Amino acid sequence: MRSNEIPESQLPPLLRKCWMRLNAIFQKRVGQIGLTPDQYIALRWLHELPSGTVYQLTLKNLMFTDPNNVAGLMSRMERLGLIKRKADTLDRRKKLVFCTLKGKTLFEEARKIAVCLEEETLSILNTEEKAEFLGLLGTINRHLHSV
């Protein structure tokens, strides 16, 4: 191995390669129902958090993106009828985001695709390996959030 090569067994390259491939497969599959991975993630947060509590700023933070990206995403999703935005009654600059019936329906379809892909991906591991793998990822995640 040359000194400027990164070994295949290092965490960042392995995570990046897995994430890029997983995301590409997911993008292709949810694209068949008219969603992008970012739209799915936004809809997932809207589904998981109590209605009337999610602002564009909330989504910006949860999706680790900047205000312009989330504003553009919300505009596209609103045009597609997936979400509705409403100005906050106390601060009109803040926008509350709500999922529409169409958004909920597409999210449910996409969630089935996501669950299926996760099951497919983890199918190479036995039950104990799956539990250990997910547990270790959780441990790493908690550690990184404490740093």
- Domain parsing of the chain, residue ranges: 11-146
Distances (CA, A) of 136 to 18, 119, 133, 140: 16, 18, 5, 6
Q: What is the pLDDT of residues 2-43, one digit of tens each?
A: 556 555 678 899 999 999 999 999 999 999 999 999 999 999
CATH of domain 11-146: 1.10.10.10
**What percent of the chain lies above the pLDDT cut of 70?**
95
In three-state secondary structure terms, 7 is coil
CB 68 within 8 A of CB 45: no
DSSP state of 35: -
| Element of type H or E holding 130 | helix 127-146
CB 118 within 8 A of CB 94: no
Residue whose structure tokens are 């600059």: 93
What does pTM read for this prediction? 0.85
Mean pLDDT of the chain: 93
| Element of type H or E holding 96 | strand 95-99
Q: What is the pLDDT of residues 127-136, one digit of tens each?
A: 999 999 999 9
